Amino acid sequence: MKVLIVGSGGREHTLAWACKQSPLVEELFVAPGNAGIGDLAQCIPLKVNDVEGLCQFAKKQAIDLTIVGPELPLMAGIVNRFQAEGLLVFGPREEAAIIEGSKAFAKELMQKYQIPTARYATFTKLADALTYIEDHPLPLVIKADGLAAGKGVVICQTREEGAVTLQEMLEEERFGNAGKQVVIEEFLDGEEFSLMSFVHGEQVVPMPLAQDHKRIFDGDEGPNTGGMGAYSPVPHIPQAVYDRAVEQIVKPAAQALVTEGRPFTGVLYAGCIWTADGPKVIEFNARFGDPETQVILPRLASDFVQVALATAKGELSSMEITWKEEAALCVVIASQGYPGSYPTGVPIQGLSEAAEQEDVLVFHAGTALDPATGETLTAGGRVLGVTALGSGMKAAQDRAYEGLKPIQFKGMQYRKDIGWRAIR
């Protein structure tokens, strides 16, 4: 088979690595890819939102399966366009991907189908939103309705902070069109977890749980990021909570989208929180999480390409998907200054030494090759993810931190406590 992966981050490097394990794959292309992906696949210089360019490439190359990594092309209708050309693609159509693309849509869907989530209200006018926050208990969560690269969610501890956040989103258009509508939610207290599932219509196959670390500093301090690390399984979330989340959240959401005429195909990601009232939804995503993919796919014992094909073709119910017993843990290495402004083009040393270690995988997130020297350079906020497998969480944690020791670049930062909740 010829396989095309769309994307350029750590998630896509993991997808490429998983595809390379499959004997079905003869040729692998990634658009646009990164320095690490270039070791596994042919990188194609097409942007993820160049839907037409990607479609023409897939037709010309007679691509057998396209796997879409990020949310941007999904919301731009890449699956609709590929399907119109008779191309097989793994990912939801635009009308289903809106479950991530519009938080207001997702909340309305959950309310209509009684899927447990935080109480909320949506606003487009600043005055109405300001009145609402005056009358509701703190803290409150304010979310930009549209895609804001993981930065459109603010937990407001004071009404003043809430007023400033609303002003920035609704009046100053800090997130452009994404913030022209906002969702204000009650704050939910509890343990967060990521539940991803392979979905085709009403066919749902849940994956093992993962948990990521959103904040930049140890002890979950500092500003939110795209994710500083992750691990799987999540031993402190009971099986009963997992089962309840599947039965009360994931399956009803898949069914609701079918009922609404928006059937979902691909990976439905439920970002959940285990509250005193049971599991509730914080957000839905329409694709694999990042960095959760870096710990989930290395635990997959089945052939990933066969699973992707079964998902895309609607044959999930006839497939048995198996998982390894081992734990996986991923530590993200970020640029100096991230999640604020950061330099790029910084040379990275020690990558091959790190990757040569047993049960250690180095996934590139934001890297590029220097065409003159062949050196690998930093090219993003999150630069690398070092994933390790182990017989238990402590073994995986030890191996990951040992595994990243050879890697050096100026100003690199990473958390020293990934997995602490599972090990304490």
Check whether residue 179 and residue 201 sit in a common domain.
no
Distance CA 250, CA 68 (A): 21
pLDDT digits (tens, 9 = 90+) for 187-203: 999 999 999 999 999 99
pLDDT digits (tens, 9 = 90+) for 11-34: 999 999 999 999 999 999 999 999
Q: Is residue 103 situated within a structural domain? A: no
Q: Is residue 104 situated within a structural domain? A: no
- From 186, 207, 234, the end of a domain falls on 186
Q: What is the pTM of this model?
A: 0.96
Distance CA 177, CA 354 (A): 42
Check whether residue 137 and residue 170 sit in a common domain.
yes
- From 91, 110, 136, the end of a domain falls on 91
pLDDT digits (tens, 9 = 90+) for 30-69: 999 999 999 999 999 999 999 999 999 999 999 999 999 9
| CATH number, residue 16 | 3.40.50.20
Q: Is residue 114 situated within a structural domain? A: no
| Among 382, 384, 335, CA closest to 355 | 384
CB within 8 Å of 278: residues ≥ 6 apart:
116, 241, 244, 248
Say if residues 369 and 38 touch (Cβ distance below 8 Å). Answer: yes
**For the chain, first and last CA: distance in Å?**
45
Residue 116 pLDDT greater than 90, yes or no: yes
Check whether residue 284 and residue 337 sit in a common domain.
no
Distance CA 388, CA 358 (A): 9
Cross-sheet strand order for the sheet of 265-275: 203-206, 191-200, 265-275, 278-285
Q: Is residue 111 situated within a structural domain? A: no
In angstroms, what CA-CA distances link 300 with 19, 122, 392? 12, 39, 16
Check whether residue 124 and residue 82 sit in a common domain.
no
Distance CA 165, CA 156 (A): 8
CB within 8 Å of 176: residues ≥ 6 apart:
none
The whole-chain average pLDDT of the chain stands at 96
| Structure tokens, 423 | 């090990």
Check whether residue 142 and residue 203 sit in a common domain.
no
Check whether residue 145 and residue 246 sit in a common domain.
no
pLDDT digits (tens, 9 = 90+) for 130-170: 999 998 999 999 999 988 776 788 899 999 999 999 999 99
Task: Report pLDDT for 153.
Answer: 87
Distance CA 101, CA 183 (A): 13
Question: Rounded to the nearest 5°, which phi and psi values hold at 363?
Answer: -105, 130
pLDDT digits (tens, 9 = 90+) for 359-416: 999 999 999 999 999 999 999 999 999 999 999 999 999 999 999 999 999 999 999 9
Stated length of the chain: 424
Residue 179 pLDDT greater than 90, yes or no: no
pLDDT digits (tens, 9 = 90+) for 397-409: 999 999 999 999 9
Check whether residue 353 and residue 409 sit in a common domain.
yes
Check whether residue 344 and residue 297 sit in a common domain.
no
- From 139, 155, 186, the end of a domain falls on 186
Stretch 350-358: mean pLDDT: 94
Residue 288 pLDDT greater than 90, yes or no: yes
| CATH number, residue 202 | 3.30.470.20
% pLDDT > 90, the chain: 93
pLDDT digits (tens, 9 = 90+) for 229-266: 999 999 999 999 999 999 999 999 999 999 999 999 99
Q: Is residue 105 situated within a structural domain? A: no
Check whether residue 313 and residue 381 sit in a common domain.
no
| Among 87, 58, 94, 44, CA closest to 73 | 94
Range of the domain at 348: 327-423
Secondary-structure breakdown of the chain: helix, strand, coil percentages, each rounded to the nearest 5: 35, 30, 40
Number of domains in the chain: 4
| Structure tokens, 83 | 């399907």
Check whether residue 165 and residue 232 sit in a common domain.
no
| Structure tokens, 371 | 């065409």
Q: Is residue 153 situated within a structural domain? A: yes
Whether the upstream peptide bond of residue 139 has omega within 30° of 0, thus cis, is yes
357: confidence class by pLDDT, cuts 50, 70, 90 = very high
Whether the upstream peptide bond of residue 223 has omega within 30° of 0, thus cis, is no
| CATH number, residue 153 | 3.30.1490.20
Residue 182 pLDDT greater than 90, yes or no: yes
Per-residue buried b or exposed e for 86-102, using 16+ beta carbons within 10 Å of the residue's own CB: ebbbbbbbbbbbbbbbb
| Structure tokens, 77 | 């209708």
Distance CA 71, CA 290 (A): 11
Say if residues 174 and 165 touch (Cβ distance below 8 Å). Answer: no
3-state secondary structure of 314: coil
Q: Is 424 exposed, middle or buried (0-12, 13-18, 19+ CB in 10 A)?
A: exposed
Residue 176's CB: how many other CB atoms inside 10 A?
12
Residue 424 pLDDT greater than 80, yes or no: no
Check whether residue 234 and residue 134 sit in a common domain.
no
Per-residue buried b or exposed e for 206-236, using 16+ beta carbons within 10 Å of the residue's own CB: bbbbbbbbbbbeeeeeeebbbbbbbbbbbee
Task: Report pLDDT for 176.
Answer: 86
pLDDT digits (tens, 9 = 90+) for 85-112: 999 999 999 999 999 999 999 999 999 9
Distance CA 218, CA 259 (A): 43
Alpha-helical (H) ranges within 205-303 are: 239-245, 251-259, 293-296
